[in-house]
Structures are given as C-alpha cells and as structure tokens.
Amino acid sequence: MGHQRASAVLVTGASGEMGHGLLGSLAAERAVGGPAVIAVDIRELDASIRAKCDHAFVGDICDHALLERLLAMYEITEIYHLAALLSTRSEFAPETAHQVNVGGTLNLLHLAAEQARSHGSTVRFFFPSSIAAYGMPDLKTKHAARAVDESSYCEPHTMYGCNKLAGEHLGRYYSAHYRKLAKDRIAHPVDFRSIRFPGIISADTVPSGGTSDYGPEMIHAAAAGTPYRCFVRPDSTIPFMTMPEAIEAATRLMRAPAARLTRCVYNVASFSPSAEDFAALVRDAFPNAQIDFDPDLGRQSIVDSWPAVCDDSAARRDWGWKPTYTLDGAFAEYLLPIIARRYGVRTATAGRHAGAPRLEG
Ligand code: AKB
C-alpha cells in the first residue's frame, strides 16, 4: 500500500455551535468528491455530527502528540479552527482562556506550517475572530460612531477579545513573515483568512459562555415556555447574524481566490437589533413569553464596549459577502419555523411569514 496520506480538511471545536453548521456544509462537499473531513474536539461529538466526518478525534488542541498524530495520518490542506473559550467564560479564567485561545491557535498554525513544509503547498486556515476584538472607550463614543471598520477601536476590554486580536496577528505572521531569518524558511506556508463575527443566532443550538447569548437565549426560552431574565439593558445594541449566514460567510471567504483578498481579517454583519427589538419580535411570536431585563453590570460593560454597527464593505468588495436576512426575515424565514418545530409549538405569527422581507438575491 502506498504511503500517500489522504487529503483532509481539519475542523477544531467541531462539536460547538459553528462546528454543527460547518460540518453539514463540508459533508455536502465531501459527498461530491471533496476532501476528507477530520474533526477534533475536547468533547465527544454527538452522533448526528459524528456521521458527517471521516474521522473524529476527542482531544485537546494544546496536545502536541495529538497534532503530531494528525500530521502523520493526513495531508491537511485546510483548517477551520473553531475551538475557543468565549467572552463571558474567559473572564472567569483569563489565563486558561489565553492558553486555549492563543496557545491552541499557535499550535494549529504551527501544524499548518509543518503540513505545508511536508506536502509542499500552502494550507488555507480559517480563524473565526469576533467583534470582541473591538473596544469602544465609552457609550458616548459607541453611540456617536458610524459603522466601525477593521482598523478602528481595536483595544478590546476582554481577555477573549485580546485573544482574538492576538490570533489575527499570529495568522498574519504565519502567512507573510514566518521564520523570516531562517535559511530553510518556506514562504507563505499558511493562507490565513479571518472574519470578525458578530453575535450569531442558531435555530438548532443554544450558545453558552458568550456575552451575545442573550439574543438566542431569549428566543429559545420563549419557545420552551421558560421565563427569561435578560442580562443586558433593553437599549443594548450590537451586530448579529444567523448561523447559516455565518457558515456561508466562512466557506465563501475560504473559497475566494487569494488574488481578490486585500486583507486577512474582515467584518461581516447582517442586522443590529437592540435587546428590546429582540424582545418585541419574540413577544409577537410567543405572546405568553415572560421576558424581563435585569442587567448584569459586568456583562453589560462588555456589550457596551462592542460596536453597534460594523462596516463590512471590504468583505462585500473583495469576496462578495452579502447578508441573507433582515432581522424580520431572520425571524420569519429561519428562526421561528425551525424553533417552533424543535419545541413542538405554534407561533402566533405562523402563516404571516410568507413574503417576509428578504434581502435582494
Ligand atoms: C461571545 O459572545 O463571546 C461571542 C462573540 C460575540 O464572539 N458570541
């Protein structure tokens, strides 16, 4: 038998919210001859997503032995590095968050560079950054700011935001400057591509450990008939998008010709509702929903430090990003129909969904 290693796409953090959605997309490509899909997570993958992978490893992305094993078994051509501790959880264990979020990212970038050296071609690397990379100095500045571009206000207030910014810089280094003085350096081993995601809302999964979680938590709680105490003020406003849009953005960026890209890191966003905007749409769909507001001052200060609106013109120009939904369309066409089925309930707005506002195709 030859010693040809199978070509593979590696997904870390595969059992997380984004992993669920991404594996579905990669499995569809696999079904028509795409590369093998290898998943790594610290937790066992549930059967539904395990079935979408060629191989699933339970392990720690900080475990060098595990990464060496992957290096020996596969010719990894692409990496989606989703494993991370999110913003709220990271504030309770900031040093651990740094080890996982930055140390883990460094390990994966090193694996990518070693893969490139081993098989002689650049490894495409997707890194989900976040609006947490921004740090608006105060609410006055946040309210006065127009759409924030990728070069503005990059002074994060959280360890998670610092970690995401560090990951972006490391990725840029591995792409353009890796081992700059070494005689045996290889130029451009990694093709690093990153998106600063806003809050993401999935109809299929409920997030944990994030500070933008109040949006999805509110909707899922109403469908489950559970009272919801929102941990931010009603006027709190940050960018959000749906999970299908986030997966589409990540795969579209990874498929874009390198020559089209003018930067490594891009903003994307679909809509910027306030927490009260969310509550009004949820009450419209679930008139018995019990929603009240009881701000957690710490988590509120994190949300207040994130921009209300992000400028995604670079992504639109370079690789054709455009949102799928308006806020109303996201509820009517994606969130409510799937969530109602998931919880076995009817929404008061069912049937009113036809012809919901959808962005031009
Ligand atoms: C979080 O809330 O920490 C994440 C994010 C905005 O990156 N969802």
C-alpha gyration radius of the chain: 20
Give distance in angstroms: CA of 135 to centre of ligand 1: 13
- 33 CA from centroid of ligand 1 (Å): 34
Please give the distance, rounded to the nearest whole angstrom, from the Cα atom of residue 158 to the centre of ligand 1: 11
Of 297, 266, 308, which is closest to residue 141 (Cα–Cα)? 308
Angle among Cα 122, 128, 130 to the nearest 5 degrees reads 140
Q: Which entry of 74, 160, 214, 228 is annotated as an active-site residue?
A: 160
Amino acid at 257: P
Identity at 273, one-letter amino acid code: P
Largest CA distance in the chain: 68
Q: Ligand 1 in contact with 131 (CB < 6 A)?
A: yes
Per DSSP, helices labelled H in 91-235 are: 94-98, 104-119, 139-144, 159-176, 214-224
87 lines ligand 1 (CB under 6 A): yes
Read off the pLDDT of residues 262-283 as tens digits, 9 standing for 90 and up.
999 999 989 999 999 999 999 9
Would the CB of 97 count as within 6 Å of ligand 1?
A: no
| Closest CA to ligand 1's atom 1 | 210
Amino acid at 313: S
Query: In sequence order, which residues have a C-beta less than 8 Å from that of residue 48 and are 6 or more positions away?
Result: none
For residues 195 and 266, give the distance between their C-alpha atoms in angstroms, rounded to a whole number: 5
- Pocket flag, ligand 1, residue 129 (CB < 6 Å): no
Q: What is the pLDDT along the chain (361 residues), one digit of tens a residue?
A: 456 788 899 999 999 889 988 999 999 999 999 999 999 999 999 998 899 999 999 998 888 888 888 878 889 999 999 999 999 999 999 999 999 999 999 999 999 999 999 889 999 999 999 999 999 999 999 999 999 999 999 999 999 999 999 999 999 999 999 999 999 999 999 999 999 999 999 999 988 899 999 999 999 999 999 999 999 999 999 999 999 999 999 999 999 999 999 999 999 989 999 999 999 999 999 999 999 999 999 999 999 999 999 999 999 999 999 999 999 999 999 999 999 999 999 999 886 654 445 565 4
Q: Which residues contact 351 (CB under 8 A, 6 or more apart)?
A: none
Q: Which of helix, strand or coil describes residue 12?
A: strand
pLDDT digit string, tens, across residues 140-167: 999 999 999 999 999 999 999 999 999 9
| Interval between CA 287 and ligand 1 midpoint (Å) | 28
Ligand 1: which atom is nearest the Cα of residue 160? 3
Distance separating alpha carbons of residues 96 and 126, to the nearest angstrom: 22
Ligand 1 atom, smallest distance to 209 CA: 3
* Residue indicated by tokens 């610290």: 42
Q: Is 248 strand, coil or helix?
A: helix
**121, two tokens:** 């071609």
Residues contacting 357, CB < 8 A, separation 6+: 326, 328, 329
